[in-house]
Amino acid sequence: MSGRYWLAVAVAVATLAGCGQSTPATSTAAVTSPPPSIGVPAVPHANDHGSVTTPDGRFVAYPDGLVVRFLSAQETTVGSTVQPGNVLIKVTIQVENASPVALPISGNIYMRVYYGSARYSADIADSTKSIMDPAPTQVGPSSQLVLWQTFSVPKAEVPSITVSPSEWLLGTTHTPYTFTDVGSVVTPVS
């Protein structure tokens, strides 16, 4: 066979080899992705949820030293104007970083609150008094940080509230976790 034949085969093989590679999708919309987590990629923990009415359900610990603890949920009147039939619920969690590397926090969504059997997402209250100000940007190495956020929830759905640390806090290598039975420990406004 001629040299031209082998040259044509080599060009065809090289061209086809590039066909299996993916091309990044492009969009005119701004795309924001959660930040990567620190340390070694976490191994999934044994459970993806736990009841805050039990000692073991009030926290989740990851192999790289990240621990997220549910501290409290309470009705509040501080924050935005609430829609009729809704209440404001202030949720507080603690993040412990036993790693020697700082845990970055991108944005100011620390957790998500869900309610109802369909797990509707609760709205974050829209006032500056409903979120920490200034918003922290990291949890330092070998330290801890208390984070809180206020959500608007239909009053009738308070018993069904669950809380999940957000992807902005956990990053992409920590498996998600949901604190259940939060509604049963909500402290009413005094």
pLDDT over 50 (residue 31): no
Q: What is the pLDDT of residue 46?
A: 64
Q: What is the pLDDT of residue 173?
A: 74
Name the nearest CA neighbour of 61 among 177, 180, 183. Answer: 177
Q: Do 137 and 104 contact (CB within 8 A), yes or no?
A: yes
Higher pLDDT among residues 94 and 132, named by residue: 94
Percentage of residues in the chain having pLDDT higher than 70: 70
Cα dihedral 128→155→56→71 (10° resolution):
30
Q: What's the fold here for domain 3-185?
A: Immunoglobulin-like (2.60.40)
Task: Record the pTM.
Answer: 0.72
For the chain, the domains span 3-185
Tell me the pLDDT band of 138, cut-offs 50, 70 and 90.
Answer: confident
